């Protein structure tokens, strides 16, 4: 089984709809992240969390919210989706903040907002 899972894998929704993307991990990591990827822009950080009581905004948090329900679960919500939120969304985890701990990524969610 995959260490970091994301649901759904693909989603098409309409402008104004609320949508939630879910992420679960079995790596036992405290640190979890949400990124979006757009062509030519690389990965941009939306939110990150170090535990259920610690949520931090990233580079592009406007229009998004998150919930850390448990150590293993981190959800991203779009309260009122708009077309420019069409992107590939990744959840990631990492271990302690030593320089050598890489991030582990989920398979991604392709979101299309019509």
Partner 1 sequence: AQKITQTQPGMFVQEKEAVTLDCTYDTSDPSYGLFWYKQPSSGEMIFLIYQGSYDQQNATEGRYSLNFQKARKSANLVISASQLGDSAMYFCAMRSRGGNQFYFGTGTSLTVIP
Binding site for partner 1 (CB under 8 A): 31, 33, 40-43, 45, 48, 50, 56, 58, 88, 90, 92, 94, 97-105, 107-108, 110
Q: Which are the contacts of 97, defined by CB distance < 8 A and separation ≥ 6?
A: 31
**With respect to partner 1, which residue has the nearer C-beta, 14 or 66?**
66
31, containing H or E segment: strand 31-38
Region at 63 (left for phi over 0; alpha for psi -120 to 50; beta for the rest): left
**Least CB distance to partner 1 at residue 87 (A):** 12
**Least CB distance to partner 1 at residue 19 (A):** 19
């Amino acid at each position: 089984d995959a260490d970091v899972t994301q649901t759904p894998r693909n989603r098409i929704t309409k402008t104004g709809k609320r949508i939630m993307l879910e992420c679960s991990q079995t790596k036992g990591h405290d640190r979890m992240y949400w990124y979006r990827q757009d062509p030519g822009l690389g990965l941009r950080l939306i939110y990150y969390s170090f535990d259920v009581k610690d949520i931090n905004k990233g580079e592009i948090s406007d229009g998004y919210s998150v919930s850390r329900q448990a150590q293993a679960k981190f959800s991203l919500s779009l309260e009122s989706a708009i077309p420019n939120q069409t992107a590939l969304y990744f959840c990631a985890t990492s271990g302690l903040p030593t320089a050598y701990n890489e991030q582990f990524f989920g398979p991604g969610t392709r979101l299309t907002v019509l």
